[in-house]
Amino acid sequence: MRIAMIGNGLVSNMAALYFRKQLPESVEIVLIGPDDRGGLPLVGESIIEITANFLETQLGLEDYLREHHVPKHALTYYFKLDPDNPEDRTYSVHSTESLPNPDGYEGSPGSWQLNREHFDDHLRELVAADSGIARINGRVKDIQIDGEGGHTLEIKEADGGSRTLEANWVIDASGRNRFLGKKLGLTIKPEGQRDCFWFRIADFDRSLLRNLNALGPEYDHYDRYYTTHHFMGHGNWIWMIPLKAEDGGELMSIGFVSHPDHYEHDVRSIDSFLEQVSKVHPVVTDLVKSGRVVDTNLLRRYHYVTNPTYSPDRWGIIGDASFAPDPLFSNGLAFVTLQIEQLGALIARDYEGNHSPEFVEKLATYFMGPVLSSQTTITNWYPTMDDAYLSSIRINWIETVYFYLFLPLVANRCHFDPKRLRLWKAMQVRGENPFDIPQELIEARKRVAKPMPDHFVYKGDEKLNPKARTLWADIDEVYEQLEAGSKVLAGYSKELLSRIDKLEGEGELMMP
């Protein structure tokens, strides 16, 4: 059996390394891609626990990550109480309490913030050093799909030569070129589009990030700087990701993501970023102005999905070739790890002579469940992204669902293990979206005319499930995590609603 991997980016190399570890030696793996990225932008520095778990346990990269990248203690969200007043820097700040670690915060953070050039190069080096993975330096020009007799790829090599390659499975990881999705007409561009302008700065004064009035608890066993920071605005949000430069110095990646239906300005340069963002978050623009801009990038109306992503005809489409997400939850590469593990299971099954078109279709459908539910949740958030109070309710809900539902299910292989697949149904959107807050809480928000500091409920360790990354031998333990999560969510709703009732009873600022 031979697998042809199209692309030489992060995703193709991650998948090749994983397949090599999982599949028998007699399965040939051939990666076809150029040395040069061909002008495709490089983005995606903040990873979540799902991705970290995969890189550490499946690819064995924990020591490398600790040495070359900076830790990430989950996500920090800054919700501004008065977004129309640049003079007021009061934010309701929500972060996750990561578990105290005897080795200090450098010891074992939840995940990592990647310097992508360094990381992508490292994976290419690992692939080059692996004699079990062949590489063709070139581009795939065309393909004849034949799931039964074998696919034929036509390749233009970097030295100008042409050749063909036969393969039983083809995995397209060609990034935004979307080689197979375009050829087969599978790409869907949703109506709710996104624009993103991003850049990196060096030589900045990181202390300026603290020049705000932060409401909410701060945890003393890690440095909040080492989280992914999110500042929310009118129909837009900003990411700030601290990174380690090649020379060990500090870099900061900063991105501005907006929904064109809910944001009226056009942020596409440093000047327009400074002009618009200083009206809402001078804390961010002060930091940018203190530094030196290293590079800038722009993607406009970039959102798309491909459906299906796997076929009984023995092909798969993964990474940017299959979807371009809104990165609010930093879960792009987490979904990629799901794709890699699902395809690994499908190919292994085929190798054993048990190819099942039904199972391929089932996993393709199951893959889309959390992609759609998390993206829909983000889309629903944009009209009220500047609402500090509602946003705080959303994030407490979403993070609890992530740590008690999504992460344990993935850590326990419920997305591909046939014996555990029934648990994955919790991630499918069937009327109710697990990540989106219930209507009851949206209605409760409407009763509060002007949110004051007393209205906010903060959750740190409550939303963090300490057993979320445990792989349980007994499936009942996984059910217990889900039950524990339901209790946390019920307790949170109760606390929030009774606080609103109490403040209402005391004649606090409620709607008439």
Binding residues for ligand FAD, rule: CB under 6 A, are: 6-12, 32-34, 37-38, 40, 43-47, 51, 139-140, 173-177, 179, 196, 299, 302, 319-321, 324-325, 327, 330, 332-333, 336
CA angle 462, 466, 468 (to 5 degrees): 110
Q: Which two tokens stand for residue 470?
A: 């445990």
Q: What share of the chain is helix, strand, coil (3-state, %, to 5)?
A: 40, 25, 35
Q: How far is the CB of 255 from ligand FAD (least distance, A)?
A: 6
Cβ neighbours of residue 328 closer than 8 Å, sequence gap 6 or more: 230, 237, 257, 378, 381
Phi, psi of 173 (to 5 degrees): -125, 50
**Considering beta carbons, is residue 37 or 494 the nearer one to ligand FAD?**
37
**Considering beta carbons, is residue 303 or 459 the nearer one to ligand FAD?**
303
207 C-beta neighbours (distance < 10 Å), count:
10
**Considering beta carbons, is residue 38 or 104 the nearer one to ligand FAD?**
38
Q: Compute the distance between CA of residue 326 and CA of residue 378 in angstroms, rounded to an integer.
A: 8
Q: How far is the CB of 276 from ligand FAD (least distance, A)?
A: 18
**Considering beta carbons, is residue 32 or 65 the nearer one to ligand FAD?**
32
Phi, psi of 115 (to 5 degrees): -80, 105
Q: How far is the CB of 7 from ligand FAD (least distance, A)?
A: 3
Closest residue by Cα to residue 388 from 233, 238, 269, 164? 233
Which residue is listed with tokens 């992460």?
Answer: 407
Nearest residue to ligand FAD, using CB?
Answer: 9
392 three-state secondary structure: helix
**Considering beta carbons, is residue 174 or 374 the nearer one to ligand FAD?**
174
Cα dist. 193→63, 189, 237, 256, 375 in Å?
38, 8, 14, 14, 11
Closest residue by Cα to residue 237 from 256, 254, 212, 253? 256
Q: How far is the CB of 340 from ligand FAD (least distance, A)?
A: 11
Q: How far is the CB of 107 from ligand FAD (least distance, A)?
A: 23
**Considering beta carbons, is residue 27 or 324 the nearer one to ligand FAD?**
324
Q: How far is the CB of 467 from ligand FAD (least distance, A)?
A: 23
Cβ neighbours of residue 88 closer than 8 Å, sequence gap 6 or more: 80, 81, 82, 213
Q: How far is the CB of 323 from ligand FAD (least distance, A)?
A: 8
**Considering beta carbons, is residue 175 or 451 the nearer one to ligand FAD?**
175
Q: How far is the CB of 403 from ligand FAD (least distance, A)?
A: 17
Q: Which two tokens stand for residue 2?
A: 């031979």
The DSSP code sequence of 187-211 is EE--SS--EEEEEEEES--GGGGG-
**Considering beta carbons, is residue 298 or 442 the nearer one to ligand FAD?**
298
Q: How far is the CB of 329 from ligand FAD (least distance, A)?
A: 9
Give, for 304, the enclosing helix (H) or strand (E): strand 304-306
Amino acid (1-letter code) at residue 470:
T
**Considering beta carbons, is residue 216 or 319 the nearer one to ligand FAD?**
319
